[in-house]
Structure 1
Amino acid sequence: MATSPNITTQYTSEQFVESSGAILFDLSNGKNKTVCLIHYHAKDEWLLAKGRRNCGESRQEAALREIHEETGYQAHLYPVTMYTRAPPIDERGHMPDIPRLYPDIVEPFMVTMRHLGTDGVKDVKIIWWFIAALDEGVVPGSASGEEQFTPEFFPLQQALEKLSFQNDRDVLREAISLVNTRL
């Protein structure tokens, strides 16, 4: 029996958890865009809103639900122009597996693979990242989410500096780049 020439890691459903998150922007102020971070009180950390996907829930639905639960804000996924290796919805025949530029899509712009456990445990958390914007008429500072979090909007550069973890800064930096390209 042949083996794949590609390095492959497989996980059973007991070994992985899927999460979805979204970078929540307030785009109502033109060039003065802000982004919502959540302050996790128990560990005094500044984070991006994300959480586990429920059974039967799409990744997009999970991202919006988690934003609402953790920040209290109503939002929608924000379409951006980006490269992705996914084929178009109207794919016809074979298409090479290469990045293509798509305008105005609401696909994940990044994925994080977080290895969990120690001592040879092979568990992993897969985090799908989306871009979101406040719904029209929603005012920053007017909502509160789950008790353990306080949401707060920051200017983009300040948010990059405020985040507790470099991985989150990398995700936010990419989201800012995509949002700035679209506007």
Structure 2
Amino acid sequence: MATSPNTTIQYTSEQFVESSGAILFDLSNNQNKTVCLIHYHSKNEWLLAKGRRNCGESRQEAALREVREETGYQAHLHPVTMYTRAPPSDEQGHMPDMPRSYPDITEPFMGKDAVKDVKIIWWFIAALDEGVVPGSGGDAEEQFTPEFFPLEEALEKLSFQNDRDVLKKAVSLVVQS
């Protein structure tokens, strides 16, 4: 019996949770981009908006819903140019499994998983909807206060190294696009 050349781990639905999040940028001032972090009051932590995907909800929908719930801001996925192993939407025939660069896509740019109880987080890049102004308020969940920071300050403010790694990658993709 043949074995897959790729490392493969399979989990049942009871063994993992799938989450989606988005790095929310204010891109209205091209020279002074800022990013939204949420302050989690009860633990005094600075985080990125994310949460569990609901049954029947796409990863993209979950990411935008979580941003809306946790920050109070309306946003949209922001297309960037990046490498992905996913084939193009107009795939013709078999394509080798290798990274390719695609312009203007809104695919997850990063995934993280934990080992004990598996939590898979799909990260997207989002931008404020046109006309939405940072600090304009909104209906963020009670336990969070959203705040926009300059990119370097946001990297220092985040409570966890994993979130810093995610933000660094997001910033690199937004800056190059």
Normalised by the shorter chain, which TM-score bucket?
A: over 0.9
State the one-letter code of the partner of 2:97. Answer: D
Q: Which runs of 4+ in 1 moved over 6 A?
A: none
Residue number among 140, 152, 173 corresponding to 1:178 in the alignment: 173
Q: Name the % identity.
A: 82
State the one-letter code of the partner of 1:124.
Answer: V
CA RMSD of the aligned region, Å? Answer: 1.0
Counterpart pick for 1:136 among 114, 123, 130: 130
Aligned residues: 176
Deviates more, 1:55-64 or 1:5-14: 5-14
CA offsets, 1:129-168, max 9 Å, x none?
A: 0000000000101124000000000000000000000000
Distance 1:128 1:106 in 2: 12
Do residues 126 (structure 1) and 120 (structure 2) align? yes
Q: Report the CA distance between 1:31 and its aligned residue.
A: 1.1
Match of 1:98 in 2: 98
> TM-score if structure 1 supplies the norm length?
0.93
The residue that corresponds to 1:148 in the other structure is 143
- Rounded to whole Å, the distance in 1 between the matches of 2:87 and 2:130 is 31
| Distance (Å, rounded) in 2 between the aligned partners of 1:3 and 1:102 | 31
Match of 1:74 in 2: 74
Q: Which residue of 2 aligns with 1:22?
A: 22
2:44 paired residue number: 44
Aligned with residue 160 of structure 2, among 150, 157, 165: 165
Q: In structure 1, the residue corresponding to 2:164 is in which secondary structure?
A: helix
Which residue of 2 is the match for residue 120 of structure 1?
A: none
Cα deviation 1:103-143 (Å, max 9, x = unaligned): 00000000011234xxxxxx200000000000000010112
In the TM superposition, what is the alpha-carbon distance from 1:29 to its structure 2 partner? Answer: 1.2
Partners in 2 of 1:88 and 1:25 — Cα distance? 26
Structure 1 residue 2, shift from structure 2 partner: 4.2
User: In the aligned structure 2, how far is the partner of 1:114 from the partner of 1:44?
Assistant: 23
Q: Secondary structure at the match of 1:23?
A: strand
Q: Which residue of 1 aligns with 2:63?
A: 63
